[in-house]
Structure 1
Amino acid sequence: MNVLLVAAGAALGAPLRYLTDRAVQGMHDAAFPFGTFVVNVAGSALLGFLVALPAGDGAMAFLGSGFCGALSTYSTFGYETLRLIQNGARLLAAVNVAAGVAAGLAAAGCGALLARLVTG
């Protein structure tokens, strides 16, 4: 049953990631992958929030593994970082890695803190 919940969550998260990524990237005429950065930080914040809530296995399968797993994208992060390096934008690649990891961790922490504040 959990595998179906993961698949259903991913079916919602993946198109949202794609649409958000394209919309955000379309607002910037830059080599930096702003779209992937935004979806990864948002996914980290939401997952941090969810993990701090008392939720059952089904909810975590659907929202955590499925939706957040498909919303955020480590593979695209890696690909875009490699592409920056190949295009000679090594500084942007380093900024992408450092900012992506730091912002993702901070967002997860803020999400968890928000969940604790909301649930008392």
Structure 2
Amino acid sequence: MTYVLVAVGGAAGSLVRYSLGKFISEKSSTEFPIGTFIINITGAIMLGVVSTIGVSNDMMLLLGDGFFGAYTTFSTFMYEGFNLFQEREKLNAYIYILCSLILGVIGYALGTKIGSI
């Protein structure tokens, strides 16, 4: 049952990430990977909420490991950051990588505060 919960959550999370990322990218006119940036920060916030509100182990597998594990994406984050360096967009690359890491940690902490209310 564990694998089913993670798989179902992961399938849903990846579909939401893909759809939302595509939507944001189509509406954006910047080279900055704003879609992945927004998705990773909101995912960190929501994972903080879910991990704090005391959900069952099964719900944590479905949402935490499955949905938010697939919704947020480290590989796309690295790919887009590396591409910014290759495209000689060094300032954007540094901003993207540092802000993603810093705001991701802050977002998770904020989510734990929201979840404990």
TM-score range, shorter chain: over 0.9
2:58 is aligned to 58
Structure-2 residue corresponding to 1:47: 47
Please, which runs of 5 or more residues in structure 2 have no aligned partner? none
| TM-score normalised to structure 2 length | 0.97
| Residue matched to 1:15 | 15
Q: Percent identity?
A: 32
Structure 1 counterpart of 2:98, one-letter code: A
Deviations 1:37-94 (A, max 9, x none): 0110111011000111212211110000000001000000000000000000011000
Matches for 1:86-101 after TM superposition, within 5 Å: 86-101=86-101
CA distance in 2, matches of 1:28, 1:54: 37
Deviations 1:1-38 (A, max 9, x none): 11110000011110100011111111211110000001
Match status 1:37 vs 2:19: no
Q: Provide the TM-score with structure 1 as the length reference.
A: 0.94
Stretches of structure 1 that go unaligned for 5 or more consecutive residues are: none
Letter in structure 2 aligned against 1:101: L
For residues 54 and 19 of structure 1, what CA distance do their matches in structure 2 show? 29
* AA aligned opposite 1:83: N
